[in-house]
């Protein structure tokens, strides 16, 4: 529970608003964590043998018609006291395996959060794109209106008119696509959060996780590390199982025997210790198998670390590309703002039309929206890196 609260608190520190996961998802994650903790306790105590209590009543009649009745009660216990370190390794394995499983739940929760906040950001971005497409369509309408007038006046040819018509059709299609994209994203978010209404969430600018932090705190790699410790302890358990073992055996009971000739009532007990060592033809194969399992986990961890390093680089350079697009959008914004100012003056003198001024005003807004769109794209990449790491 503490880990769940910590992860949600970290998310709340970055994102304004209420936690986004539905109550049922949070409840399910909590139940999974509680089960894992109970399993850890169970496995840590698994080496302790149970006490066995017994009660029995037996009636007997033999061929000579002699009858007897035996009543007995007792308790017995057979417990390993020493397994050449195997008991300690079992406890160590239980802890490591439990940590690996808990990290798996943390990763599952982080994946939910990553999906939710990515969708929130995508919706915000694509609403801007939709508005951008509306402005673009408006400009294409203006272009078509102006070129149609020129064509009718004989100052534009049919190819210009066809190009303007196709551009307007392309802009209309882009607007339809953006509307459909928004609808699908909103549906996916509602499905993820199990809600019919998407509440607005103010997503702040989160820091870019460094490569060193990303690899050191990556949830998947931390899970591999815990699995490594579990497999290492498992290999030691296998090895210790073929070494000397000391076992205590003891029992205590009470017997009441009633027969035709004799009666007996009394306590009985026995205890002792057994030192044993197994001789198994499969010893070497079992130890080799456990060693290979450990090597497999370690190799998989190294391989995944290399993949994640490449994934980080890809996202890092993608962010750099988006930052370049912001620079380009700013340059275009400056150009359009200058043209808008110039055209506004020309409209006042009658040298330019209000349609041209309106088109340039839309272009200014399109470039301003472009900067916001690329900022959201950068945030999407940062969200992915942020929720891949343990916070």
DSSP-derived secondary structure for 256-282: EEEESS-EEEEEEEEEEEEEE----TT
Q: Domain range for residue 375?
A: 2-47+83-242+278-387
Tell me the per-residue pLDDT of 31-64, one tens digit each, with 9 for 90 and over.
999 999 999 998 888 888 888 998 988 887 766 6
Instruction: Identify whether 133 is part of a domain.
Output: yes
pLDDT for 71: 85
147 in a structural domain = yes
Which of 22-31, 65-74, 194-203 is least confident? 194-203
**Torsion sign over Cα 126, 132, 134, 140:** negative
Q: Is 154 left (phi over 0), alpha (psi -120 to 50) or beta?
A: left
The answer to whether 114 and 19 have CB atoms below 8 angstroms apart is: no
Q: Does 152 map to a domain?
A: yes
Query: Could you tell me if residue 88 is inside a domain?
Result: yes
* Residue at 11 is within a domain: yes
What order do you get walking across the sheet with 52-61 strand by strand? 52-61, 67-82, 245-259, 263-276
Q: Is 18 helix (H, G, I), strand (E, B) or coil?
A: coil
pTM value > 0.85? no
Per-residue confidence at 243, pLDDT binned at 50, 70, 90?
confident
User: Is the pLDDT assigned to residue 7 strictly greater than 50?
Assistant: no
In this prediction, residues 187-192 reach a mean pLDDT of: 90
For residue 139, the SS3 value is helix
Distance of CA 84 to the CA centre of its chain: 39
Who wins on pLDDT, 176 or 193?
176
Would you say residue 98 lies in a domain?
Answer: yes
The pLDDT > 70 percentage for the chain reads 93
> Residue 268: inside a domain, yes or no?
no
How many separate domains does the chain show? 1
E-assigned strand segments in the chain: 52-61, 67-82, 245-259, 263-276
Of 57-61, 315-319, 353-357, the range with the lowest mean pLDDT is: 57-61
Query: What is the reported pLDDT for 24?
Result: 87
pLDDT at 63: 63
Asked whether residue 264 is assigned to any structural domain, the reply reads no
CATH number, position 295? 1.20.1600.10
* pLDDT over threshold 60, residue 18: no
């Amino acid at each position: 529970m503490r880990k769940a609260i910590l992860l949600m608190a970290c998310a709340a520190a970055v994102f304004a608003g209420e936690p986004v996961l539905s109550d049922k998802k949070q409840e399910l994650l909590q139940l999974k964590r509680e089960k894992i903790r109970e399993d850890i306790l169970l496995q840590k105590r698994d080496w302790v043998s149970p006490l066995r209590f017994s009660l029995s009543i037996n009636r007997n009649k033999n061929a000579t018609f002699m009858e007897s009745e035996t009543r007995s009660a007792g308790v017995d216990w057979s417990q390993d006291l020493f397994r050449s370190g195997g008991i300690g390794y079992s406890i160590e394995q239980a802890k490591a395996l439990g940590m690996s499983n808990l990290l798996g739940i943390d990763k599952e929760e982080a994946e939910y959060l990553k999906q939710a906040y990515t969708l929130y950001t995508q919706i915000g971005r694509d609403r801007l794109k939709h508005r951008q497409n509306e402005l673009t369509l408006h400009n294409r309408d203006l272009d078509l209106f102006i070129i149609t007038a020129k064509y009718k006046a004989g100052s534009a040819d049919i190819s210009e008119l066809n190009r303007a018509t196709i551009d307007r059709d392309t802009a209309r299609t882009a607007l339809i696509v953006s509307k459909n994209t928004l609808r699908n994203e909103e549906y996916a978010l509602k499905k993820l959060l199990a809600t019919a209404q998407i509440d607005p969430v103010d997503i702040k600018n989160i820091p870019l996780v460094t490569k060193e932090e990303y690899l050191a705190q990556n949830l998947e790699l931390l899970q591999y590390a815990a699995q490594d410790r579990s497999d290492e302890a498992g290999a030691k358990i296998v090895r210790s199982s073929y070494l000397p073992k000391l076992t205590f055996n003891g029992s205590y009971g009470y017997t009441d025997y009633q027969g035709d000739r004799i009666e007996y009532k009394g306590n009985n007990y026995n205890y002792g210790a057994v030192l044993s060592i197994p001789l198994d033809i499969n010893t070497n194969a079992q130890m080799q198998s456990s060693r290979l399992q450990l090597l497999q986990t370690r190799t998989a961890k190294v391989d995944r670390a290399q993949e994640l390093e490449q994934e980080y680089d890809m996202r890092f350079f993608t962010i750099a590309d988006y930052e370049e697009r912001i620079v380009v959008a700013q340059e275009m914004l400056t150009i359009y703002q200058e043209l808008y100012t110039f055209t506004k003056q020309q409209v006042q003198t009658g040298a330019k039309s209000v349609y041209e001024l309106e088109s340039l005003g839309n272009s200014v807004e399109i470039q301003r929206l472009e900067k916001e769109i690329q900022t959201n794209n950068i945030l999407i990449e940062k969200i992915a890196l942020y929720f891949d790491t343990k916070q």
